[in-house]
Amino acid sequence: MDGSPHAASVAPAPAINWFHSHAFPDGEVTRGEKPIEVLRKEAEVVFRHGVAGKSVLDIGAWDGWFSFEAERRGAARVLAADHFCWSGEGWGTKAGFDHAHARYGSKVETRDMNVQDMSAADPGVFDTVLFLGVLYHLKDPLAALEHAASVTGETLVVETVTAFDPFPWKLAGYFEGDEYNGDPTNFWAPNRRCLEAMLRDVGFKRVETVRNPNIVPHWRNPDLYWKHSRVITHARR
């Protein structure tokens, strides 16, 4: 990720609708929907247990910022996987990932694959699995966590929208149509208790949740407190 000898000679950025903002070693900056400061703040929590020397699978990688960050932090092997945004009906393409891969001179591997198709046989088991911003896009979140767990050797990191966190029960909120963020691909938001219970049920013994550092709940914004928040959960064997 320090840049390869080829980095300066790759073609200039094509017209890409970036989701991630990248700051490439040659000085080029892409401005995506997720600002670089937001990504860096999330990364401090996501990678809190370290990935140096680890194998890492990034499920739903899109423009790949977290895959390249894992590589930058010394991961031994990184596999970035996506389908919906790379070749499915999703909001983007793989052009951003491929451009970033060249710009970073990266060795991150890729697979066009959905979480529902993952197992210990294929693509195999990874020390650390990133499952960031994907869970609430899935119609069957428990089944998705089972698949994610099946490819996790040590730590599964889940970043997700939550709903009803202050309630003392295991609940999930369902988004009808496009009522969450105007996006009809948002389905389920568990609350923290529900998310942690599901993660224990799919085989993790130690589960810790913190609020996504980019979400600041405020009494003037009850949606963020009562209805929706975002969390980052580390589920460990």
Ligand X SMILES: C[S@@+](CC[C@H](N)C(=O)[O-])C[C@H]1O[C@@H](n2cnc3c(N)ncnc32)[C@H](O)[C@@H]1O
Phi and psi based region of residue 177 (left: phi greater than 0; alpha: psi -120 to 50; beta: remaining):
left
Helix (H, G, I), strand (E, B) or coil at 232: strand
Options 56-64, 164-172, 192-200, 208-216: segment touching ligand X (CB under 6 A) = 56-64
Footprint of ligand X on residues 23-52 (CB under 6 A)? 34
Decide whether 33 or 201 has the Cβ nearer to ligand X: 33
Footprint of ligand X on residues 135-194 (CB under 6 A)? 137-138, 159
Q: In this chain, which of 1, 51, 132, 207 binds ligand X, going by CB under 6 A? A: 132
The DSSP secondary-structure symbol of 205 reads S
Q: Would you count residue 134 as binding ligand X (CB under 6 A)?
A: yes
Q: Would you count residue 115 as binding ligand X (CB under 6 A)?
A: yes
Q: Minimal distance in Å, beta carbon 187 to ligand X?
A: 10
Contact 78, 94 (CB under 8 A): no
Q: Would you count residue 62 as binding ligand X (CB under 6 A)?
A: yes
Phi and psi based region of residue 215 (left: phi greater than 0; alpha: psi -120 to 50; beta: remaining):
beta
Q: In this chain, which of 32, 60, 141, 190 binds ligand X, going by CB under 6 A? A: 60
Q: Would you count residue 133 as binding ligand X (CB under 6 A)?
A: yes
**Torsions phi, psi of 91, nearest 5?**
-80, -10
One-letter amino acid at 160 equals: T
Q: What tokens does 20 get? A: 């991630």
C-alpha span between 234 and 219 (Å, rounded): 27
How do beta strands 152-163 and 126-132 pair? parallel
Decide whether 60 or 105 has the Cβ nearer to ligand X: 60
Please tell me the count of residues contacting ligand X according to CB under 6 A.
Answer: 19
**Torsions phi, psi of 44, nearest 5?**
-60, -35
Q: Would you count residue 103 as binding ligand X (CB under 6 A)?
A: no
Contact residues: ligand X, CB under 6 A? 34, 59-62, 66, 82, 84-85, 90, 114-116, 132-134, 137-138, 159
